[in-house]
Amino acid sequence: MSATGYVAVAAQVAVVAGGAPLLTGWMRQVRARLEGRAGAGVVQPWRDARKLLRKEPVSPTGTGPAFRLAPLLLVAGTAVVAALVPLAATRTPVSGSADLILVVALLALGTVALALAGLDTGTAFGGMGASREMTIAALVEPTILLAVFAVSIPAGSTNLPAIVAGTIDHPARTASPAELLAVAALVVAVLAETGRIPVDNPATHLELTMVHEAMVLEYAGPDLALVELGSQMRLAVLLGLVATLAAPWGVATGGSPALLALALALLVAKVAVLGTALAAAEVFRAKVRLFKVPELLAGSFVLALLAVVGSYFLTGEAGR
């Protein structure tokens, strides 16, 4: 605990905040290479951010505090999540409050803040994007909660470090049907939550299809840089969460600094692998039509529900 714990928390936040743009750059690079383009390079998102931060802050007339606070809330909320989730170490000063439901709520807070900001602009696109985002969020949140619930049943707690530590102690749990189903449901939910294909296309500004981009269309300058950073951090944290739940090996359960360094390296590797897989999948998949999205999310909801029910009648330990 003590010093290493604080170091671990700081390191997690720093790695997520610093690495998130790199992750996005890496994924864009993978896509570009698979599509036969040269690509802009891994650090391009940082260059974009630097350019944006140098610009003068501008906000549309008639917008209120909701518009101005949303980027801050998004980034701050995600940073808190990055501190809470046991990405690298399970024994940290905040591990007692690292509850899964709190994590989900913090992520939802960012979504809602952005949707309110989209509405606040009073433009057609902002409103449209916000309404679409809320439609998706309304379907995603129950899925995430259920999936998380399924994962927490074997551990008997919704405390994330406890779940991760439990899984490290009982590696067989990761192969149980309930856990597999929950992870599958979580992956679909994460894709929807971070606005990736097949739910949303992060690279489009086509009026008919965009969801996330429509909400943030009015942002410019430093605010836009914050919004982009927030979205990138969300993706990084959620991929990290999936990696930590599905394959928790390497996460430091003790207090040794060497283990912590190893855990951080492993975290970067795991998230990079997940990001590569996601980017590669996006090359081969098309975005589904908006009104087919509920079908996809209903599917993932059922997977999550099966995971919960299944953990009662499949694993002998939970069925007692």
Distance CA 317, CA 320 (A): 6
H-state helical runs in 55-123: 65-84, 100-120
Buried b (16+ CB within 10 A) or exposed e, 133-153: bbbbbebbbebbbbbbbbbbb
Q: Closer to another protein at the Cβ: 255 or 299?
A: 299
Please answer whether residues 82 and 16 qualify as being in contact, where contact means their C-beta atoms are separated by less than 8 angstroms.
Answer: yes
**Tokens at 111, concatenated:** 């979504």
Q: Which residues bind another protein (CB under 8 A)?
A: 172, 175-178, 180-181, 294-295, 298-299, 301-303, 305-306, 309-310, 312-316, 319
What is the closest distance, in whole angstroms, from the C-beta atom of residue 303 to another protein in the complex?
7
Q: Closer to another protein at the Cβ: 117 or 192?
A: 192
What is the closest distance, in whole angstroms, from the C-beta atom of residue 247 to another protein in the complex?
17
Please answer whether residues 49 and 231 qualify as being in contact, where contact means their C-beta atoms are separated by less than 8 angstroms.
Answer: no
Dihedral angle over CA of 282, 285, 291, 297, nearest 10: -70
What is the closest distance, in whole angstroms, from the C-beta atom of residue 316 to another protein in the complex?
5
Q: Closer to another protein at the Cβ: 176 or 231?
A: 176
What is the closest distance, in whole angstroms, from the C-beta atom of residue 78 to another protein in the complex?
30
Q: Closer to another protein at the Cβ: 222 or 294?
A: 294
Give bridge partners of residue 159 from the DSSP assignment: 99
Q: Closer to another protein at the Cβ: 36 or 319?
A: 319
Distance CA 104, CA 134 (A): 15
What is the closest distance, in whole angstroms, from the C-beta atom of residue 188 to another protein in the complex?
12
What is the closest distance, in whole angstroms, from the C-beta atom of residue 310 to another protein in the complex?
6
Distance CA 252, CA 264 (A): 9
CA proximity to 267, closest of 232, 241, 229, 233: 241
Q: Closer to another protein at the Cβ: 6 or 312?
A: 312
Distance CA 9, CA 4 (A): 9
Distance CA 136, CA 220 (A): 25
Q: Closer to another protein at the Cβ: 146 or 224?
A: 146
Dihedral angle over CA of 180, 184, 185, 186, nearest 10: 100
Residue carrying the six token digits 């410019």: 220
The values of phi and psi at residue 159, to 5°, are: -75, 120
Q: Closer to another protein at the Cβ: 106 or 303?
A: 303
What is the closest distance, in whole angstroms, from the C-beta atom of residue 139 to another protein in the complex?
9
What is the closest distance, in whole angstroms, from the C-beta atom of residue 284 to another protein in the complex?
16
